[in-house]
Amino acid sequence: MKTALKCIGVLLIALGLVSCAQKSEPDYDNPGFYDQTLTITAVRDHHRLQEFARRYMLRYPGVYIEVTSFNYDFPRYIEQLFIGLMSGTADDFFDADIDYMNPATIRLLADWLPIMRADPDFSEDDYFMSVLNAMTFQGGLYEFPFLFQAPHLIVANSTIPGLTQMLADYATLSVTDLKSIREAVESDLYLHASFALHSAVTFYINSFLDIENRTADFNNPRFINLISNAVEVIDTNSRYIQLGNNWHFDFATEEILSGRYLFQEVNWSIFQYFLPYENEFIFEGITPVADADGRVLIGQHRSYALNAAASYKDLAWDFIKFMQDTERNGLVLGDELFMPVYRPFMRSQMHRAMPEWLSHYARQLGWRIEGDEADIIDGFIAQIEELHDMPMTYLRLPYVIHDILRETLQLFTDGLISAEEAAIDLQNKITLVLWEMG
């Protein structure tokens, strides 16, 4: 019961924003930002930012926030953002993107950390600092992770008796751990079913790639051993059946419970599959994925960068605080499937957002929610808090390097090159890309 109940917490606390009945009343006691303007460029979720801006201006008359949208046109957004940053015409505040987080452009962005620490209300205890620390680049925090994500592995509880109990000894799971477990249970079943080899290897890429210092170390026995082990435990011919919110429950269940797989990757926080179903758990053993150095892998889902030339950096920080503070903005968590980096954001809203979800599962899926609702939610909160002390590493992988990984590792998967040849090829190609990044 503990495993099942703790896992849905990530889904339910990390959800996006929908309106509630509470309204933001005007607050005229805000002389610090009166007559200031904040310009924002959004490539994703611009409707949310526009709603936040509308509510902020309603609450603080005299402040003006303008949101420009590129409506998911990422190539045009990146091109125009580069031009704007280099020419000094970029907006103050914009969606962060991996491809401009490099040494050549980082000097054009502001470091969030000194701005945050200059705020008398800022406390490190309020944030998942392990996430912020993992996302620093050249000593600064140049993208603020409003929401973050982390991959996990699960096990079908009916596959091999005792497998779930065995996982209790693992705080995280790596490819090496998966192979060891497979050998321990004397199984020839695949441990991993949901993605191609190159996607799996990206989980461990930070052990071999240092974007910040522009170094690569793929041509070594450790990496060769990693991909050799990974290709043994990953079913590279399987359908992509990552458990996401767009997958039909019956289809996903049939695939996983078919007896073909020991483990399955789950989408970052789709944990409704862990709720009790007819007094039994469908999946158990939720465990975060770690890289080759034992660090939990994280990615940003929604993060924001700040123009170093912005006139009102404190206003930009206050706007982020406003988006995190439902008492100020009058919104509650709703439909987003990722985790907020601001811990009070999670704590304060869990008891407001989760009852509706619990009722939904009971009403729509016929699942039985056992135990006191408040106790269940408190258990979710406690489980999420454990992330605060876990070592983490941030997947900062430019698209061009991701494409190189996919192409080379596909050749290895198809048996056209050896692991040693794949390591040499990656070393040469990625080193060249890093050199071109300056």
Can you list the domains of the chain with their CATH numbers?
A: 17-146+299-339 (3.40.190.10)
Strands 64-69 and 37-42: parallel
Looking at residue 276, what is its pLDDT? 44
Looking at residue 365, what is its pLDDT? 55
**Partners of residue 436 on adjacent β-strands:** none
Cβ neighbours, 10 Å, residue 425: 19
Give the residue, 374 or 60, on which the prediction is more confident: 60
Q: Which residue has the tokens 């206003």?
A: 315
Instruction: Tell me which residue of 228, 360, 373, 204 sits closest to 297, measured CA to CA.
Output: 204
Q: Is the pLDDT of residue 87 over 80?
A: yes
Looking at residue 63, what is its pLDDT? 93
CB 206 within 8 A of CB 401: no
Q: Which of 21-25, 67-71, 322-326, 428-432 bottoms out in mean pLDDT, i.e. has the lowest?
A: 21-25
Quickly state the pLDDT bin for 321 (edges 50, 70, 90). very high
> How much is the average pLDDT of 71-87?
87
DSSP, res 390 = S
**Measured between alpha carbons, how far is 246 from 231 in angstroms, rounded to an integer?**
27
Looking at residue 97, what is its pLDDT? 67
CB 139 within 8 A of CB 169: no
Q: Which residue has the tokens 């191609």?
A: 196
Instruction: Tell me which residue of 304, 239, 242, 282 sits closest to 96, measured CA to CA.
Output: 304
With 0.85 as the threshold, say if the pTM is over it: no
Mean pLDDT over each residue of the chain, to the nearest integer: 75
